[in-house]
Amino acid sequence: MWDMAQSTVPPTGPELGDRSGLAGDVVGRITHIASAMRHHQGTEFAELGLTPATARALHELDPDCPLPARDLAEVLGCDRSNVTALVDKLEQAGLVERRVDPADRRQKTLVVTETGRQVRARVRQVMSDSRLLAGLSTEELATLRELVWKVSDGGCPEQCETD
């Protein structure tokens, strides 16, 4: 069935009986599509002087609602120690500032600068760039959205805790 997923035969015969082959096929395709998306985003981020990880970190930092590093780590689903390096790079690039929280001097609040705000807007643009979906009609897109929505609701929408 995996071989089928790798072939170039179009899905003209849905073969509704073979549920697991069907599902495995879809899994393979989604993997391919996501990989292509990551690749494309990676090159776009590089043009902004960002790596995928720093871009994602910037993306998660709301300019209107500064977070402590601890919370950013949680949103990113990674360890606090990684956030240090990520924010180091963002700060070096002038996109983010660390500010000691006067209320709790252990915490450092991550504030997006004006430049950071602009770069972040571009990052968000790239992250929802849908050129890969250009081949679908608007109706197909709507159907696809319904289906992927249903999948991510039933599965692991955020950090995949249901494993």
Partner DNA sequence: TATTGTTATACTCTATAACTATA
Partner DNA sequence: TATAGTTATAGAGTATAACAATA
Provide the binding-site residues for DNA, judged by CB under 7 A: 51-54, 68-70, 73, 76-88, 98, 104-109
Q: Which does 111 bind (CB under 5 to 8 A by kind): DNA, a second copy, none?
A: none
Smallest separation, CB 93 to a second copy (Å): 22
Residue 4: Cβ-neighbour burial (10 angstroms; 0-12, 13-18, 19+):
middle
The pairing of beta strand 108-112 with beta strand 96-100: antiparallel
Beta bridge partners of 109: 68, 99
Q: How far is the CB of 80 from DNA (least distance, A)?
A: 4
Q: Could you tell me which residues are beta bridge partners of residue 110?
A: 67, 98
Residue closer to DNA, measured from CB, 153 or 161? 161
Q: Which of residues 85-104 bind a second copy (CB under 8 A)?
A: none
111: tokens are 């504030």
- Considering the complex, state which of residue 22 and residue 48 has its C-beta at the smaller distance from DNA: 48
Give me the torsion for CA of 21, 27, 31, 34, rounded to 10°.
140
For the chain, count helices (H), then strands (E).
7, 3
Question: Pattern 113-152, binding to a second copy, x per CB under 8 A?
Answer: -----------x--xxxxxxxxxx-xxxxxxxxxxxxxxx
Radius of gyration of the chain (CA): 20
| Smallest distance from a second copy to CB 160, Å | 5
DSSP letter at 123 equals H
Give, as ranges, the residues between 17 and 76 that touch a second copy (CB under 8 A). 19-20, 22-37, 39-40, 43
Helix axes 69-76, 80-92, angle to 10 degrees: 110
Q: Which is nearer to a second copy, 85 or 156 (CB)?
A: 156
Sites of contact with a second copy (CB under 8 A): 1-2, 5, 8, 10-11, 14, 16, 19-20, 22-37, 39-40, 43, 124, 127-136, 138-158, 160, 163
